[in-house]
A and B are shown apart, each in its own frame.
Chain A
Amino acid sequence: MTLALTVGVLVAGAAYLLQRRELLRVILGFVLLSHAVNLLLMAAGGTDRRGEPLGTDPDPLVTGDPLPQAFVLTAIVIAFAITIYLLVLAVTGSRSEAAGTVAPGDDDDPHPDDLDTDQHRTGQHQTEQYRTDDHRTVGEGSTP
């Protein structure tokens, strides 16, 4: 029952945050939502009828189910990785929304391009073309 109520509260908070305009709040909403689903996974292991995984009787009917815990562990790692990436996306470009391109400092790539000069030149040409296209379309989206 406690688990069910917690999941409910977390989902309610997530639903509120996901409808905000700012990407940062949306990301926080996703953090709450993934917590809620992780607790749901734990509950799916039958927490009402099972005890702790260690220390109790190793009877498979009573002892804790390890599979949902493995699921939760995997899901936490994945959600964590994507959340970090979303935070990077929220920051990237925020300094130069008007300029239409991502600011040079946003890509702190330590390596110089591993392209030889000729290839690099053609690559530049092409991306210049993208940019001319992009200048026109920037601002259509409503992202903060």
Chain B
Amino acid sequence: MNLVAVNPAALPLLVAGPLLASGAAVLLRGRGRTGLVVLLATLTALLGAAVALVAATSDGSVLAHQVGGWPGGIAIPLVSDAFSALVMTVAVLLTLVCSVFAIATGPGRHRLFAPLVLALTAGVNGALLTADLFNLFVFIEVMLLPSYGLLVLAARRRGTLRSVQGSRLYVTFNLFVSTVLLTGVALVYGLTGTVQLGELAGAASRDPRVAAAVGLVLVAFLMKAAVVPVHGWLARTYPSTSPAVTALFSGLHTKVAIYVVYRVYAVVFEGDSRYLWIGVVVFSATMLVGVLGAAGQSRMRSVLAFHMVSQIGYILLGVAIFTLAGLTAGIFYLLHHMVVKAALFLAAGAVEVRHGTDEIEALRGRVGREPVLALAFGVAAASLAGLPPFSGFVAKLTLVVAALDAGQVAAVVVALVVSLLTLLSMLKIFGTVFAPSLWPGTDEAPAPAPVVAPDGGPVPGDGPLGDLARQSGTATLTATTSGEPGRTRATWTAPAVALAAVTVTLGLGAQPLLALCEVAALGLLDTSAYVAAVLP
């Protein structure tokens, strides 16, 4: 049953809309906040469109549009099924929330922030929709080019050398990976004479040479997803930019790569079971190495970046199992992880913006009474580790059950051990930075938060944003909030709180989303509907 009828010819709008808005925002950049209005309005409209897309594809139907009206096989097809619609919904939601955080904390007020984020959104949507490998390469680049700008975004004359150094690594790494991807595309075209996913359906399971060529494409995307042993770049580049941009990237870049791995392996390999063991080994190693790497880090964002590597192993384990239960669990895990990771980065980011550092030891006892922020971080951290009743528990439980059914006992053992280590690592941050602010009696004496931070920290309540914080603060915080000095502003806290609320909702009411994920997984197991839509 179709809840909503969506005309497939509207699919290009999901890419063209943000691109046009990006151009408009560039033209409007000199006019105060109009650019930001364009940004938030476009993202809200996209969120509505993505939700409509989920509703339209929730029965397993596939929407496809041959761009330009060319016949199938010549045109570049844009396709949406339940999987891409779900990922797009969460991606746009995260972009919206992270943009609000960026605007509240500073980097979002740069005149080029709105155009860059809109172009980034266009690239992400395009990569999620396209069914053509070369077009995918182009959209990945459309996604990456604004990201390079966002990485070094700072107020005028305030750029830091650290963000330039992080950016050098990020750009060289991504240029290299894109070259590898292009090599793979060239080999695929040389062997098969096409790069369209519909025409390539099943080609890799029939011909090992095609499997090697598409394998190169997959390797490129696994590198972009920061899978061990190519994970070092992520932990070194993500903490180098502003907290808002880190949160934004954590929800988009690696996750788009994971989406592509799921899609390409399902369509071109048709879930070929001969190669699955490679995935099980590599992704188990990713889980373990990521969490062990986090143990050696002393900065919050570095710890969180390493945990991201570890969690990416979990998500990809779903595709390495390739059963209905495994794919469902993997897709659910992907959606859950996008939300939770961004919540953690935003909560840690609010502390970092307020106190000027994210060194865990330096923050010991410095965070004042922040019950809401502490709660948001605690909920997200528990969800990341997989404690009930949050979405992480549902995600891990379904994944572990699916892996047991598939006989991957070793991977299950690794997953459970890593969960425990994740919990310990999260407790390290929570206990040192956030817990004292929940129970002030235990830790009040040694370090009350400075009234006006000596490092020039902003006092809540100055400027128009302070007014905004006071107005909205009554809703989320107690009435005394803005009166008490040293407290993080409500606008800095609200994004993390909103995402933490999402993970609670997904944990308590997981059934509807699990059902949607199952529809998406069915679409990956049996790709005939997808192929038929791509090749009319």
Contact = CB atoms under 8 A, between A and B. Distances in A.
Interface of A: 18, 23, 26, 30, 33-34, 37, 40-41, 43-46, 67-68, 71, 74-75, 78-79, 81-83, 85-86, 89-90, 92-93, 96-97, 99-102, 104, 106-107, 109, 111, 113-116, 118-134, 137-138, 141, 143
Nearest to B354: A129
Contacts of B190: 43-46
A138 B396 CA distance: 39
Contact of B105 (A18, A126, A137): A126
Given A83-B175, A121-B462, 6 more contacts: A74-B138, A79-B175, A81-B145, A89-B171, A124-B155, A126-B106
Interface in B443-459: 455-458
Contacts of B169: 141, 143
B356 interface: yes
Nearest to A117: B463
Interface in B143-202: 145, 148, 152, 154-162, 164-165, 167-169, 171-172, 175-176, 178-179, 182-183, 185-187, 189-190
17 contacts: A30-B172, A30-B176, A33-B176, A44-B186, A44-B189, A71-B134, A86-B171, A97-B161, A102-B159, A115-B109, A118-B462, A120-B155, A126-B353, A127-B155, A129-B456, A133-B358, A141-B165
B32 interface: yes
A129 B456 CA distance: 7
B30 A127 contact: no
Contacts of A90: 168
Given A118-B464, A122-B106, A126-B353, A113 B186 contact: no
Given A125-B456, A130-B356, A133-B357, A102 B160 contact: yes
Contact of B171 (A44, A85, A93, A100): A85
B458 A126 contact: yes
Of B111, B172, B190, most A-chain CB atoms within 10 Å: B172
Given A78-B141, A118-B462, A127 B154 contact: yes
Interface in B101-144: 105-106, 109, 111, 134, 137-138, 141
B168 A130 contact: no
A122 B340 CA distance: 28
A131 to B, nearest CB: 6
B242 A41 contact: no
B3 to A, nearest CB: 38
Contact of A129 (B156, B185, B187, B457): B457
B242 A130 contact: yes
B353 A129 contact: yes
Interface string B457-500: 11000111100000000000000000000000000000000000
B455 A128 contact: yes
- Chain B interface mostly: helix
Contacts of B187: 40, 44
A96 B186 contact: no
B456 A114 contact: no
A83 to B, nearest CB: 8
A96 B155 CA distance: 18
A122 B458 contact: yes
Interface in B332-375: 353, 355-358
B111 A113 contact: yes
A131 B158 contact: yes
B175 to A, nearest CB: 5
B104 to A, nearest CB: 10
B179 A23 contact: no
A102 B154 CA distance: 11
B301 to A, nearest CB: 11
Contact of B109 (A40, A107, A123): A123
B29 interface: yes
B155 A113 contact: yes
Contacts of A116: 32, 464
Nearest to A116: B32
Q: Shortest 8 CB-CB distances between A and B: which pairs? A: A129-B356, A44-B190, A118-B463, A127-B158, A102-B159, A41-B186, A126-B106, A141-B165
Contacts of A137: 162
Contact of A26 (B109, B152, B172, B355): B172
A132 B164 contact: no
Contacts of A85: 145, 148, 171
Contacts of B182: 37, 41, 75
Nearest to A103: B157
Given A41-B189, A130-B356, A101 B168 contact: no
A68 B29 CA distance: 38
Contacts of B161: 93, 96-97, 99-102, 134, 138
B356 A132 contact: yes
A133 B138 CA distance: 37
Of B148, B189, B242, most A-chain CB atoms within 10 Å: B189
A107 B141 contact: no
A1 to B, nearest CB: 15
B274 interface: no
A40 B158 contact: no
A107 B463 contact: no
A90 B171 CA distance: 11
